[in-house]
A and B are shown apart, each in its own frame.
Chain A
């Protein structure tokens, strides 16, 4: 198998790449066309064919110029027409192979392949191979890395785009074990996870930008006055209910689209996550690269007993944090977390709290925010006619919020160490439990501000290559910080311990 031939991407790309190019250029092209046709001259007759031809030419280029091959020791790609680019990855350095198929890809049975090599953010992308080629390539790459190898049996792979979710896979004696599968009873958590609210808010904001210019606006305004005359409270109630219902629909739809057919499996030393209704993603991470997990309980989700779980890994792109479970019951998150870590202790161990001085600092930090918020209407009242009750109301609400978030921020603080893991609690309204393997700790930073020094507190940072590259224990008593660091990485601190 020395110096095998270069292979092209799937020829089916010729069907979809021009469409993708059109999609990318649709907006500027439309503007240009409108601009031309609204001028004195009419739109030239050749504009449409030129755009179509351009799309085809640019769409065909990637297929014409991209090649890949696997040698005995390396995976190589070369691409580019004018700027030639070639990438090589030693086979034993391949850490993750992800498959992703958008709706367009799935229509023609293609899958995008992304290969991670442990070097941050530098991933090799093949866009796209047929579903079977992709599955075979993945099986081959992952088996070259795993100790026991049996080539994947391509004949058992049924055809069809849906099978991206369950490719032939790597066979290495040990059968795939399912760690978690979607349970549609979890759908009840969808409305309590506000991550998607940002998207909705952005959409509403964008719409309101155009709102003024819509001809509907005037009619709507006069209708509004007419209604508001006799039933303001009814209208407000209606609006609130309408907003709630549409939020629930958006949240549930988003949840279904993102987590359709979710399956988390452990196979041949890798974790594999597949999910997606329209775009199917299939993420594989070598377990050696998974240095820990992070469980998040945002405040609303916690009220209904839900949690989210992500892995902290090195060399997988996307910031190293990969969500492996949708919002789901806390018990599921802890048990899957324990499965991933192969020990249940870090997920359940009680955290040592950081003491009264840390509580005081948590409160004070929030109270400053409350003071600032209260100051805004006070300062405004110097120049504007602000009703006197407004600063009072704002102050009371801000103080109450500061008290709640200060206390909850303190309660979420905590630390623990188990035989193999460092566990740190953090978060203000969201409760976060970060678990990091001792082996994944690269170094320590002990930060002390002037105020912290007076209280013998410190902020302890464990630096790591996984996830967000740091795990932070805020306002931990200095002695506890040193003990924790020494217990987690024995020997590193010992020259300086007294």
Chain B
């Protein structure tokens, strides 16, 4: 994050997510890239000649293809490391604070007294990397807080702790 003038600053959350998340993000980005490549190549090979007038392809077809091949590669190469550096989380006895994103960075803070549900989810690919995501919801549709790609055991422990803390608070949290 950029330097902030003035006396107030929001310290970043203390913990990073599991280092295995980098590989997980890279693999899932690669899967996405392969799909994009297949679409781009088949468009270039079949669709473009079919709709263009005259022989051969228009001049912009080759640069467009190169762009469509290189951009996903750049995404695969750059995004996982960047995301790992940015994703952070911390849970105190009173509040939860997370930071996520890579181009747009979101910091989310909610007092635990307002938490309504605590879930952990695990996709098939995530399971292969022994990762799990933790989602904490509040009474606001704008307010769910997700910590992506925690170590599975850490996620399990956090769910347990959070359920105990939020179960103790009174009221309907609106």
Contact = CB atoms under 8 A, between A and B. Distances in A.
Interface of A: 118, 314-315, 440, 442-450, 453-454, 456, 461, 463-466, 469-470, 478-479, 482-483, 485-486, 489, 491-493, 495-498
A318 to B, nearest CB: 15
B8 to A, nearest CB: 5
Given A454-B2, A461-B142, A470-B140, A444 B110 contact: yes
A491 B139 CA distance: 20
B106 A447 contact: yes
A262 B97 CA distance: 46
Main secondary structure of the interface of B (DSSP, over half): loop
A367 B90 CA distance: 40
Contact of B10 (A118, A461, A470, A496): A496
B9 A498 contact: yes
Nearest to A119: B172
Interface of B: 1-6, 8-13, 90, 92, 94-95, 97, 103-111, 114, 138-143, 145, 172-174
Contacts of B13: 496
A479 B143 CA distance: 22
A155 to B, nearest CB: 37
B172 A118 contact: yes
Given A446-B106, A447-B104, A448-B104, A453 B9 contact: no
Contacts of A446: 10, 106-108
B104 A450 contact: yes
Contacts of B2: 453-454, 456
B106 A463 contact: no
A211 B11 CA distance: 64
A413 to B, nearest CB: 19
Given A443-B138, A443-B145, A497-B8, A118 B174 contact: yes
B174 to A, nearest CB: 4
Contact of B95 (A461, A479, A495): A495
Nearest to A457: B2
B94 A443 contact: no
A491 B105 CA distance: 23
Contacts of A496: 10-13, 90, 97, 109
Contact of A492 (B5, B94, B140, B142): B94
Given A464-B140, A482-B8, 16 more contacts: A118-B174, A442-B139, A442-B140, A443-B108, A443-B110, A444-B107, A444-B109, A444-B110, A445-B108, A448-B104, A449-B104, A453-B105, A469-B140, A482-B10, A492-B109, A498-B11
A473 B23 CA distance: 36
Residue in A440, A456, A495, A498 with the greatest tally of chain B CB atoms within 10 Å: A495
Given A442-B114, A453-B2, A495-B92, A314 B104 contact: no
A440 B108 CA distance: 17
Contacts of B10: 446, 482, 493, 496-497
Given A314-B174, A445-B142, A491-B94, A456 B4 contact: yes
Contacts of A315: 174
A485 B111 CA distance: 12
A226 to B, nearest CB: 45
Given A314-B139, A497-B11, A447 B111 contact: no
A463 B110 contact: yes
Contacts of B3: 456
A456 B90 CA distance: 23
Residue in B92, B97, B110, B143 with the greatest tally of chain A CB atoms within 10 Å: B143
17 contacts: A442-B114, A442-B139, A444-B110, A446-B106, A446-B107, A450-B103, A453-B1, A456-B2, A463-B140, A469-B143, A478-B4, A482-B10, A492-B94, A496-B12, A496-B97, A497-B10, A498-B11
5 nearest A-B residue pairs (beta carbon)? A443-B110, A463-B143, A470-B142, A465-B139, A463-B140
Contacts of B90: 495-496
Residue in B105, B107, B173, B174 with the greatest tally of chain A CB atoms within 10 Å: B174
B53 to A, nearest CB: 13
A470 B140 CA distance: 8
Contact of A483 (B8, B97, B145, B173): B8
Nearest to B139: A465
Contacts of A464: 140, 142
B114 A445 contact: no
B149 to A, nearest CB: 20
Contacts of B11: 496-498
B100 to A, nearest CB: 10
Contact of B142 (A456, A463, A498): A463
Contacts of B174: 118, 314-315, 440, 442, 465-466
